[in-house]
Structure 1
Amino acid sequence: MTFNYSVTLPISGGNKLRRFRNWVEQHLPDLSYSLPQQTPIKTEVMTIRLLSIDDRARLLNTWASVQPPAPEGP
């Protein structure tokens, strides 16, 4: 698969990758995407690679309408 499209989303805190995977599993279970190998805790955004422009639009619409994954508290 070639992930030719990308979107950068605001997401802060630790465990960004796991939190994003859980969020997608709940809200867009059929979405094909590729995540970076790791993200530093200090970053406030994350870039997700997608297969199509339609997938990008679906992700952005869902992200805007559904509560994004919240950072985990102490």
Structure 2
Amino acid sequence: MTYKYSCTFPITGGNKLSRFQSWAAEHAPDISVNLPPQVPIKTEALTVRVKSVEDRRKLIERLAVAQF
């Protein structure tokens, strides 16, 4: 199965990928995500790819209350 769906959310600062991976491991271990290989520091958003619409919905709900 491929990662057909994406979710873009605001995140600033350095180490975006490692911060998201830590958060996902704790708050969304049931959602399989595909992250880009790198994200520039100046970028103020992160796009995460997921496998299904249901995973996308769950991730958006959980990210709504997350603090990075």
Q: Smaller-chain TM-score range? A: over 0.9
Give, in whole Å, the separation in 2 of the partners of 1:43 and 1:56.
Answer: 21
1:68 counterpart letter in structure 2 = Q
Q: Which has the larger radius of gyration?
A: 1
Name 2:6's counterpart in structure 1: 6
Aligned to 1:38: 38
**For residues 30 and 47 of structure 1, what CA distance do their matches in structure 2 show?**
18
TM-score (norm 2): 0.94
Which runs of 5 or more residues in structure 1 are unaligned? 70-74
Sequence identity, in percent?
A: 50
Whether the aligned pair in 2 keeps the contact of 1:4 and 1:51 (CA below 8 Å) is: yes
The residue type paired with residue 19 of structure 2 is R
Partner of 2:67: 68
Q: What amino acid does structure 1 have at the position aligned with 2:67?
A: P
SS at match of 1:38: coil
1:13, CA displacement in angstroms? 0.4
Deviation of 1:36 (Å): 0.3
> What do residues 26-74 of structure 1 show as CA deviations (whole Å, max 9, x unaligned)?
1011110100000000000011000000000000001112x332xxxxx
